[in-house]
Amino acid sequence: MPRYRITLEYAGTRYSGWQKQKNARTVQGEIERAIGEVTRQRVFEFQGSGRTDAGVHALHQVAHLEIGVRVPPEQLRRQVNEALPADIHLLRIDPAPPRFHARHAAEARSYLYQISRRRSAFAKPYVWWVKGTLDLPRMQEAAAAFAGMHDFRSFSDDDPDEKSTDVLVEDVTVGEAGDLILVRVGGSHFIWKMVRRMVGVLVEVGAGRLTPADVPRLLAEDSGLPARVTAPASGLFLERVFYPGDNRRLPLAPAFAVSTPDRKGM
């Protein structure tokens, strides 16, 4: 049966995450419905590179589709897009080798989090507006402590007795663009709520309620603090999924810009 590699984007605001669920609207569920309508196939394999939680967005999610009907990729992309809601969009569909698996073949992933320094009438679904001043150099210093292999049990709701909470974080980059502070986290894989709790801790450091030296302590201890400062889902994007041969050196750029207003003459 033909297999396709699908690259897609979505705004997760209206969905209960990526993975198909009973009695809940999900991104995977919407795409499977659209594929079934277009191809008139009831049985096919459609899997993503990983899950995203309720309210989380994606700039370049990757999935594979194996289906018992051969359709030109661009024709399939256009037709499925027409059957999808406006907040889910297939960017491209490519023929894939028979053994290509969107999750198993992935080497790394990166997430982007957007913190807004100001209230925005337009960007609210895509940022976390943090009132008050954040010290960017302190956040950058704290971010460096997350790099490496660590046990992130305090940064996740996953049960360490059922699933490993050890994660290799390749890098954490903190920068700015206009009135946005951007946090990129790259690594082999991520566990439930991990990135949002990392961002929450970085904001606490930037606000002066924690110090950069507190990050190693929170990683070493079984602490409830990261859970209490979990950043909202609205600012989180699955940025990229990397496969063998992909370029991982990408510029740090916002998914949804929030520019600094020009107050001259106001």
The CA–CA distances, whole Å, from 226 to 52, 60, 75, 215 equal 19, 27, 46, 10
Q: Active site includes 179? A: no
Write the DSSP string, 185-247: EEES---TTHHHHHHHHHHHHHTTSS-TTHHHHHHHS--SHHHHTPPPGGGEEEEEEE-TT--
Q: 115 — phi, psi (to 5°)?
A: -110, 125
How many Cβ atoms are within 10 Å of 69's Cβ, its own excluded? 12
- Determine the Cα–Cα distance for residues 79 and 96; give it in Å rounded to an integer: 19
Q: For residues 76 and 112, what is the distance between their CA atoms, to the nearest angstrom?
A: 29
Q: Which of 113, 19, 124 is nearest to 59 (CA)?
A: 113
Catalytic residue chosen out of the listed positions 53, 87, 171, 214: 53
The catalytic residues are 53
